[in-house]
């Protein structure tokens, strides 16, 4: 760390001699260096405490939660201190005398402060306590099905494979029970999150999170609407096809106007791809014979083939990669995640890997985050800017690598499928659209609009469930199996609502970005069909990805995109990718009743 900080000082002094801002730059750099040293120390302590809190959840034992709360409070007291706020503002008033990197670091210091301003220290303390308690309730919950303890993996397995509608319904309802225990905490957190950021002038917590993109709430929601509008004709075809296919699968002649939520292979209807099996690409049956460890090691091998280094030994020693037994007294966060523990080389992943196709893709995705961390941990990027170009970039690169790992030429090259096996390219494209296109309408539509209603519009708690299902029907064409009263809180069963709030549009933006990046790699680097690529062994692909990763947040995200692809953010690449599917779906849907309106 010492080398990194001294580099920052040297760079600032050298630049000062060129532009005459020497005194201000040196003073600002002294402040930034002092702040950074303390920030990195507190950040590392906080990550360690949160790691333990997420991997060692014990019933009736709140010691890890309290330790995480204490570490959060120490970080909050520092980042939100009046002194740090005043210093950052003072130097930013003279930003014409500062280097661009210094301006970015000072803006980050201020943005951090708004999340924990010590001018409302009691509120911040209450919020931290509430967030840690909510995490413990969320991940410490014991799911039950037919009087047996089950994991979320077990419930997901039922929803992907079971054809008995009553058994599906039981699993779906079991997955929603956790919402009852989370609603009160979510209502409290909404109030605390809003009040915290309002202390530094933000209207609400959602607006605060959106501002990280240099956008207003209206601009972000308009962007979400534009993405959905562009993709809606395809989604409408997918929805119609899915209604008829699922009715046939479950043996009913009555095709419902809207998709019953328990008919779908995902708890929130955000991914329908398990409904399609691509002939010749039965990856689950092949991977069943592999170990969970093999899945992660094979992911590492893909990145190494692109010219990235092997993962540090500490990654394997300290990560939590595999599921605990369903009846384990100790629970863990069951949502896959990647962790940059010290803003240096301690990187870890929290997963529950099993040898199947979903975890194969997820492992490649999560390692994308890990390699992003490692790549922007370099002397050119100060610790405060060791982040993605924006939050969506992290997801875009991870998801792109997951997508690439599921394409036929890649799988054939890895010996996981027969490259000569006859496969239906339209079915493969359909399966992919049932993942990524369907996901846009969950992320841009249901999730983003629900959180906007919560934080910006101050949605009444007695309308939480009604609003959730209103949005799911409007944007996804999904309805609950039966009326769901306000004793439930089905929105809260989505982990992000609780522990990664007001940021779900990140994922929608990431999908647009990933297709832009993947399209560029396929056409301009590999000279392959974007729907059938093999990244493996192509170091020029690794060079392209590294160029995006290396600057971290030290460059404007729009500039990074323009430099890498020559284009600005748009859904054109995504639309082009799925165009061959549209005509096929229209043919399949001839004579069928369309129940979604012609326009969104």
pLDDT tens figures, 418-454: 888 888 889 989 999 999 999 999 999 999 999 999 9
Same domain, 431 and 520: yes
| Residue 353 predicted with pLDDT over 50 | yes
pLDDT confidence bin for 4, thresholds 50/70/90 = very low
Alpha-carbon distance of 366 to 319, in angstroms, equals: 12
What pLDDT does residue 380 have?
97
What pLDDT does residue 21 have?
56
Which has the higher per-residue pLDDT, 138 or 20? 138
| Residue 567 predicted with pLDDT over 50 | yes
Within-domain flag for 459 = yes
- Report, as an integer, the average pLDDT of 246-263: 97
Single residue among 181, 213, 245 that ends a domain in this structure? 213
Pick from 56-60, 211-215, 472-476 the range whose average pLDDT is largest: 472-476
Task: Tokens for 90, please give them.
Answer: 């003072």
- Report, as an integer, the average pLDDT of 464-480: 98
What pLDDT does residue 5 have?
42
Using an 8 Å Cβ cutoff, are 353 and 363 in contact? yes
Within-domain flag for 331 = no
Same domain, 119 and 226: no
| Residue 145 predicted with pLDDT over 80 | yes
What pLDDT does residue 180 have?
97
What pLDDT does residue 279 have?
79
Same domain, 127 and 253: no
- Report, as an integer, the average pLDDT of 151-155: 93
Q: 30 is in which domain, residue-wise?
A: 2-213
Same domain, 509 and 446: yes
Averaged pLDDT of the chain: 94
- The residues pairing with 145 across neighbouring beta strands, listed in sequence order, are 148
**Ramachandran class of 53: left when φ > 0, alpha when ψ lies in -120 to 50, beta otherwise:** alpha
What pLDDT does residue 277 have?
86
What pLDDT does residue 561 have?
93
Same domain, 175 and 276: no
- Report, as an integer, the average pLDDT of 523-532: 97
Single residue among 173, 189, 213 that ends a domain in this structure? 213
Same domain, 509 and 411: yes
Single residue among 189, 213, 237 that ends a domain in this structure? 213
Output Rg (C-alpha) for the chain, integer angstroms.
Answer: 24
Within-domain flag for 485 = yes
Same domain, 412 and 489: yes
Name the least confident of 174-183, 298-307, 566-575. 566-575
- As a whole number of Å, the end-to-end CA separation of the chain is 51
Which has the higher per-residue pLDDT, 23 or 2? 23
Same domain, 121 and 255: no
What pLDDT does residue 280 have?
73
| Residue 361 predicted with pLDDT over 70 | yes
pLDDT confidence bin for 570, thresholds 50/70/90 = confident
What pLDDT does residue 259 have?
98
Name the least confident of 275-279, 437-441, 464-468. 275-279
pTM of the model: 0.85
Within-domain flag for 375 = no
Share of the chain above pLDDT 70, in %: 96
Name the least confident of 86-95, 330-339, 545-554. 330-339
| Residue 70 predicted with pLDDT over 80 | yes
Task: Tokens for 452, please give them.
Answer: 């906007």
H runs (alpha helix) in 456-571: 464-471, 495-499, 505-520, 539-549, 557-565
| Residue 17 predicted with pLDDT over 50 | no
Within-domain flag for 349 = no
Alpha-carbon distance of 402 to 584, in angstroms, equals: 26
Share of the chain above pLDDT 90, in %: 90
Same domain, 81 and 130: yes
- Exposure string (b/e) for 569-585, b if CB count within 10 Å is 16 or more? bebebbbebbeebeeeb
175 contacts: CB under 8 Å, gap ≥ 6: 143, 152, 155, 159, 267, 493
Same domain, 134 and 221: no
Within-domain flag for 481 = yes
**What is the SS3 string spanning 65-111?**
HHHHHHHHHHHHHHHCCHHHHHHHHHHHCCHHHCCHHHHHHHHHHHH
Number of domains comprising the chain = 2
- Report, as an integer, the average pLDDT of 72-90: 96
Within-domain flag for 328 = no
Within-domain flag for 595 = no
Same domain, 181 and 236: no
Same domain, 197 and 230: no
- Report, as an integer, the average pLDDT of 62-76: 94
- Report, as an integer, the average pLDDT of 200-224: 95
Which stretches does DSSP call E strand in 278-428?
A: 330-331, 337-340, 347-350
């Amino acid at each position: 760390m010492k080398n990194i900080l001294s580099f920052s000082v040297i760079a600032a002094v050298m630049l000062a001699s060129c532009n005459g801002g020497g005194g201000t730059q040196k003073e600002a750099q002294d402040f930034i260096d002092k702040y950074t040293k303390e920030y990195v120390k507190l950040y590392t302590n906080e990550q360690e405490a949160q790691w333990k809190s997420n991997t060692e959840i014990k019933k009736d034992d709140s010691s890890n939660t309290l330790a995480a709360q204490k570490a959060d409070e120490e970080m909050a007291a520092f980042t939100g201190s009046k002194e740090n706020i005043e210093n950052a503002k003072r130097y930013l008033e003279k930003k014409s005398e500062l280097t661009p990197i210094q301006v970015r670091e000072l803006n980050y210091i201020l943005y951090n402060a708004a999340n924990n301003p010590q001018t409302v220290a009691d509120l911040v303390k209450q919020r931290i306590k509430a967030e840690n308690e909510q995490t413990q309730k969320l991940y410490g919950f014991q799911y039950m099905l037919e009087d047996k303890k089950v994991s979320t993996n077990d419930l997901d397995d039922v929803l992907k494979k079971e054809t008995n509608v009553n058994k599906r319904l039981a699993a779906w309802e079991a997955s929603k029970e956790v919402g009852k225990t989370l609603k009160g905490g979510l209502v409290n957190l909404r109030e605390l999150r809003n009040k915290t950021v309002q202390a530094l002038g933000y209207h609400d917590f959602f607006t605060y999170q959106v501002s990280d993109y240099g956008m207003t709430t209206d601009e972000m929601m308009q962007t979400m609407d534009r993405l959905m509008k562009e993709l809606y004709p395809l989604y409408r075809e997918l929805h119609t096809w899915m209604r008829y296919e699922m009715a046939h699968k479950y043996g009913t002649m009555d095709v419902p106007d809207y998709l019953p939520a328990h008919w779908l292979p995902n708890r929130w209807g955000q991914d329908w791809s398990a409904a399609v099996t691509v002939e010749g690409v039965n990856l689950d049956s092949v991977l069943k014979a592999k170990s969970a460890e093999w899945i992660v090691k094979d992911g590492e091998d893909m990145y190494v083939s692109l010219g990235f280094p092997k993962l540090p030994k500490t990654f394997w020693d300290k990560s939590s990669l595999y599921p605990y037994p369903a009846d384990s007294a100790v629970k863990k966060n069951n949502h896959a995640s990647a962790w940059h523990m010290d803003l240096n080389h301690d990187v870890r992943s929290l997963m529950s890997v099993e040898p199947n196709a979903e975890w194969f893709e997820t492992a490649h995705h999560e390692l994308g985050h890990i390699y992003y961390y490692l790549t922007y941990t370099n002397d050119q990027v100060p610790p405060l800017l060791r982040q993605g170009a924006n939050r969506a970039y992290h997801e875009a690169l991870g998801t792109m690598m997951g997508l690439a790992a599921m394409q036929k030429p890649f799988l054939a090259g890895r010996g996981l499928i027969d490259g000569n096996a006859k496969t239906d390219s339209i079915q493969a494209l359909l399966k992919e659209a049932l993942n990524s296109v369907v996901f846009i309408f969950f992320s841009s539509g249901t999730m983003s609009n629900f959180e906007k209603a919560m934080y910006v519009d101050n949605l009444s708690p007695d309308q939480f469930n009604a609003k959730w299902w209103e949005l799911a029907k409007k944007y996804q064409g999904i309805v609950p199996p039966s009326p769901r009263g306000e004793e439930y809180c089905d929105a809260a069963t989505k982990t992000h609502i609780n522990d990664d709030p007001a940021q779900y549009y990140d994922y929608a933006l990431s999908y647009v970005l990933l297709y832009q990046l993947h399209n560029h790699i396929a056409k301009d680097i590999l000279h392959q069909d974007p729907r059938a690529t093999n990244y493996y062994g192509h170091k020029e692909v690794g060079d392209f990805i590294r160029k995006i990763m290396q600057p971290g947040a030290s460059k404007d995200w729009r500039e990074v995109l323009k430099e890498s692809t020559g284009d600005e953010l748009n859904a054109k690449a995504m639309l082009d990718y799925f165009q061959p599917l549209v005509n096929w779906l229209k043919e399949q849907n001839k004579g069928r009743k369309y129940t979604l309106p012609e326009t969104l």
